[in-house]
A and B are shown apart, each in its own frame.
Chain A
Amino acid sequence: MAKRHKRFLSLEQRPVNKDGYVTEWAEVGMIAMGSPNDPTPSIKVQNGVIVEMDGRKREDFDFNEIFIATYGIDAKVAEEMMAISSVDIARMVVDINVPRERVVKVFSGLTPAKIVSVIDQLNVVEMMMGLQKMRARRTPSNQAHVTNPQDNPILLAADAAEATRYGFSEIETTVAVFNYGPFNAISLLIGGQVGRPGVLSQDALEEAIELQLGMRGLTAYAETVSVYGTERVFIDGDDTPWSKSFLASAYASRGIKMRFTSGTGSEVQMAYAEGKSMLYLEIKCIMLTKAAGVQGLQNGSISCIGVPAGVPGGIRAVLGENLVTTCLDLEVASGNDQTFSHSDMRRTARLLMQFLPGTDLVCSGYSATPNQDNMFAGSNVDADDLDDWLIIQRDLRVDAGLQPASEEEIVAVRNKAARALQAVYEELGLPRITDEEVEAATYAYSSEDMPPRDKVQDTKAAQDLLKRGLTGVDIVKALAKRGYTDVANSVLGIQKQRVSGDYLHTSAILDKDFNIIAAVNDLNDYQGPGTGYRLEGERWAQLQNIRQAVKPEDL
């Protein structure tokens, strides 16, 4: 084209045009849902055993299908539920007169291909209505990422305190340098409790190391336990449904909460999608999670979001996978995680799908730091978006899990977290934290504001701490000895969760007094207007109270 239209030239400069898009390509699985290679739903049960599923005979099942057919589908009701038409089941999901319990019962007898065909009947507004009714816990909540590229422990503690003061009920870290693992876990354990007692923290690491930190009480739960929708990708991920289920039971045997992780696009990214649609493969992951007896799942594409985001209807499919997770009666930590778009409009549109209906954890990693410090490759929303988030909650009268906090209280909890960590390091003989570092962490925007630390010494001490067999109880003692009695009690409160096992149940989180809020004693009972979770009373007053609002008496 010789002569260019100036509006096109202008559009080309817009952020949305820095994102990548691709046309559907079913042969390699670049298709959100409805691939011509997806199987046709079918079921055959003989003597209580599923002998055929989605057009394949039991002797031809791969290991995922064996596991799902053996443990994931209720053979007693399967033929009855499979006989209901997909559109009728889709209507049940949306219909406020059909209780959640009934939908869960129907889904317990469906095959993966049938579930895809149900979801494909729904537009995104219907899916959001479904998610509002089907999420397991009545009260919505949120999770934050707390990381930095220097693995600076003081900044991690301060950032954890800030995040939990804003209301995140779970915080997740990971490492820039592998050997820092135990240090990062300790920073979140202490900082998180300073910001708001009862917060659960985790450290995303290699499976076996992650379990060890949990066993020692340095983390409160685990999430980075991936499952995959094809056998080949599962093997490439160095696991099977049996190894992952064994790991899940290992966590429970130590009284530790955990969830699995999966997401659309991972099989395409690992190049073995077998030409199936992303949603079809993801539904297998969700069913594997249920079959393993795991209470919940982190999904919503997560680290593969660029793949579904590039294809037609991809973001709809991502909402669809969250919805299926809830229809299978699992906790959902619903993505809005890894960054996928340069466009503020696009990332907000993607966010609203979970933000508006509410989920157990709207983000499964809101970056509590600026994105440059996020070690999960950035997040769809970060520390610079906090006021936008809070004001959108206020505009729409929606509780997406966060509440406003004043600058004074944020500074206070950051400082206290940094000082508590300083004291614990000294008690445990770990590399010294200076007053200058405490001060820097209290007021830091990002890790660039932190004085550099001796990383060789830090990583050596972190590994040595593992060899010494340090546990959460040692942290409690150190805090108590140095006068941080309230924080010591909170860290102890977290340790005690591993005795009662109450928080092993679906969608369990803790309030500031360590009361359990789970999809057992706080079951979602939404059945239309006047039911379910309602943002009102004290909580609504709290969410209205933003610092930017002018009060009549100020005028």
Chain B
Amino acid sequence: MSQQDLINAIVREVLAELNGSGAKPAAAPTERYCGEKGAKLDYRKDYPMAAKRPELVKTASGKSLNDITLDAIISGEVKPDDIRITPQTLEYQAQIAESINRPHMARNLRRAGEMTRVPDARILEIYNALRPNRSTKAELLAIADELEGQYQAKICAGFVREAADVYERRDVLRKD
């Protein structure tokens, strides 16, 4: 499409919208919003996800919300471990948070997305290691390496490294 054609197309679209003709822009948003590159979820269209985008919500074992029924629970088809959020869903929710100007929440949800891969017991141990005067700097840095290497948790690793630096500066590292 030439530059002029593109401009003409845009003008037509804008006019159509202004006239309320109901003609939709060529690119169907439903297609673009499926997590493809560059397409982000938006709180106005996609929230709550369970109602508006159920096809995007899967459990950790790949089931959809509609598969989690009382019958499936009783028959044992759905197990407690199936009822877990996925990193992909947390990423979608982070996008929704961003679309409503809540970048802090999005950051938290992205840390969480990485932490879905860390086992419960290890999460509790790392939390305790981050309490004041519990760990040496080397121990915290080792946790950061583990998060990055073993669980592909890059954001969390950076967060723990930052904590190690601040703890050193503020004298809240464990002294052996």
Contacts and interface: CB of A to CB of B under 8 A. Distances in A.
A250 interface: yes
Contacts of B113: 253
A500 B49 contact: yes
B80 A480 contact: no
B126 A246 contact: yes
Contact of A488 (B59, B70, B102, B130): B70
A62 B166 CA distance: 9
Contacts of B57: 499-500
Given A63-B170, A240-B172, A505 B107 contact: no
Interface stretch (A9-17, A338-346, A452-460, A470-478): A470-478
B9 interface: no
Given A212-B120, A238-B132, A500-B57, A246 B127 contact: yes
Contacts of A217: 80, 83
A293 B43 contact: no
Interface string B42-66: 0100011111000001010000010
Interface string A247-288: 111111111000000000000000000000000000000000
A530 B101 CA distance: 26
Contacts of B28: none
A492 B73 contact: yes
B65 A500 contact: yes
Contacts of A104: 101
B141 interface: no
A504 B109 contact: yes
A499 B82 CA distance: 9
A521 B47 contact: yes
A495 interface: yes
A81 to B, nearest CB: 15
Contacts of A294: 105, 108
Contact of A231 (B50, B97, B170): B170
Given A235-B133, A496-B65, A476 B70 contact: yes
A226 interface: no
B115 to A, nearest CB: 4
Contacts of A211: 123-124, 127
A500 B50 contact: yes
Interface residues of A, number: 69
A505 B96 contact: yes
A79 interface: no
B84 interface: yes
Interface in A70-118: 71-72, 101, 104-105
Contacts of B32: none
A498 B78 CA distance: 14
B152 interface: no
A521 B127 contact: no
A219 B83 CA distance: 14
B48 A249 contact: no
A215 interface: yes
B55 to A, nearest CB: 12
A66 B162 CA distance: 11
Contact of A492 (B68, B128, B133, B159): B68
Interface string A446-472: 000000000000000000000000011
Contacts of B97: 505
B131 A253 contact: no
A246 B140 CA distance: 13
A502 B50 contact: yes
A1 interface: no
Contacts of B50: 496, 500, 502, 516
A525 interface: no
Contact of A249 (B70, B108, B167): B108
A499 B127 contact: no
B163 A516 contact: no
Given A250-B115, A253-B112, A290 B48 contact: no
A251 B128 CA distance: 15
B132 A71 contact: no
Interface of B: 43, 47-51, 57, 59, 65, 68-70, 73-74, 78-80, 83-85, 89-90, 92-93, 96-97, 100-102, 104-109, 111-116, 118, 120, 123-124, 126-128, 130-133, 156, 159-160, 162-163, 166-167, 170, 172
Q: Pick the 3 closest A-B CB pairs, nearest first.
A: A293-B108, A252-B112, A255-B85
30 contacts: A67-B166, A72-B104, A207-B127, A208-B128, A212-B120, A212-B124, A235-B172, A240-B131, A240-B172, A243-B131, A249-B112, A254-B120, A255-B84, A255-B85, A471-B80, A472-B80, A476-B73, A477-B73, A485-B70, A492-B68, A492-B69, A498-B85, A499-B65, A500-B89, A501-B49, A501-B85, A504-B109, A516-B50, A516-B51, A520-B100
Given A501-B89, A521-B47, 12 more contacts: A240-B163, A242-B167, A246-B159, A250-B115, A253-B123, A254-B84, A473-B80, A498-B83, A499-B85, A500-B50, A500-B57, A504-B109
